[in-house]
Structure 1
């Protein structure tokens, strides 16, 4: 909780390395085996490359490094996500569209922080093969 508040106040001091355990639960409405769009696959490859700096990732049927991990084109899609006692909603959860907005913070190349009000389109879980086995990531797709 302390780290969450630190990120909220000053994102430049937050340290993110690899992944951390997910303390919440994904909630319906849900869809299994959803095929991602090409542009979403590009974003996911970029995310994995930034998260796991020592590994190589690529989309299926693309030329790349011989040790590249091929990411799956399928995901599980969810309309809501619960962390502790708070439930976060997305655009996919039609009755709660007005509760799906977030303030996204990004650090620019010059070190300044830009904030953008955006809408969570959906939450999703995606599995990827790493050095020590398969790991599931729980993420949000924000437009």
Structure 2
């Protein structure tokens, strides 16, 4: 608990005991995914019943929470589309039925789905050669915030919650290597689409802007003895591309 308290801002030290329990549980599950014999630990966590306001936050079991964090750390081996269930919820304020063209991301969405579902072909409405293609719907529901476990992430969609819009997320490079980059969430959105031409499925996604790296690395001294390797990032973003659309599972914190 002391370690978690040390990470909290000074003006957020006084938090509800239920939320603190959820933070501790999420942290425990996060650590368990790196161990081999974690079944017993998960069973112990599952015996604790949620009470009061925690029951709303903890609507997903610990196995669902563990599965989410596994997804977020193994994107190199797994193809995460965004339709997988996650222990969280899109939060208000939100806007319904926003045209994709209004956000200028329609072409990016086509590329995203074609990259994600290798065996399927997606395209816009009214294009030629649509017989064997899946036509993507042109409406999304746009959200300001997203709650994942005990953490709430904001976006620039609402200036009030912009402070929590800065995140670290996993980025897949062209050579298939996976790097962790800082970025800023512009907004969250849910897009309903059918990948089997029968059932409609929600995809939980985020539109982000990735910060550019700078070439130099700097070393700072602490108490004239210890050295601290600090990686700095530019204040400018990379140009808008298909990589600006990520599943919420790629968010690390």
Q: Which has the higher helix share?
A: 2
Residue segments in structure 2 that go unaligned for 5+ positions in a row: 1-29, 34-66, 210-253
Per the alignment, residue 135 of structure 1 pairs with 201
Residue segments in structure 1 that go unaligned for 5+ positions in a row: none
Residue among 79, 82, 91 paired with 1:16: 79
Q: Is the 8 A contact 1:57 1:68 kept in 2?
A: yes
TM-superposed deviation, 1:125? 0.5
Per the alignment, residue 190 of structure 2 pairs with 125
Per the alignment, residue 99 of structure 2 pairs with 35
**TM-score w.r.t. structure 1 length?**
0.83
Does 1 or 2 have the higher relative contact order (CA < 8 Å, sep 6+)? 1
- Counterparts in 2 of 1:51 and 1:6: CA distance versus 1, 3 Å: closer
RMSD over aligned Cα atoms: 2.3
Alignment pair present for 1:93 and 2:93: no
Q: Which moved more, 1:16-25 or 1:52-61?
A: 16-25
Matches within 5 A, 1:77-116: 77-116=142-181
> How many corresponding residue pairs?
141
Deviations 1:40-91 (A, max 9, x none): 1111111211222222110112223411111111100000011222111111
Q: Is the 8 A contact 2:71 2:80 kept in 1?
A: no
TM-superposed deviation, 1:29? 0.8
**TM-score w.r.t. structure 2 length?**
0.50
Q: Higher Cα Rg: structure 1 or 2? A: 2
Q: Is the 8 A contact 1:58 1:64 kept in 2?
A: no
TM-superposed deviation, 1:5? 6.0
C-alpha distance in structure 1 between counterparts of 2:149 and 2:180, whole Å: 25
Per the alignment, residue 56 of structure 1 pairs with 121
C-alpha distance in structure 1 between counterparts of 2:178 and 2:110, whole Å: 24
- Counterparts in 2 of 1:110 and 1:64: CA distance versus 1, 3 Å: same
C-alpha distance in structure 2 between counterparts of 1:66 and 1:91, whole Å: 39
Match of 2:105, SS?
helix
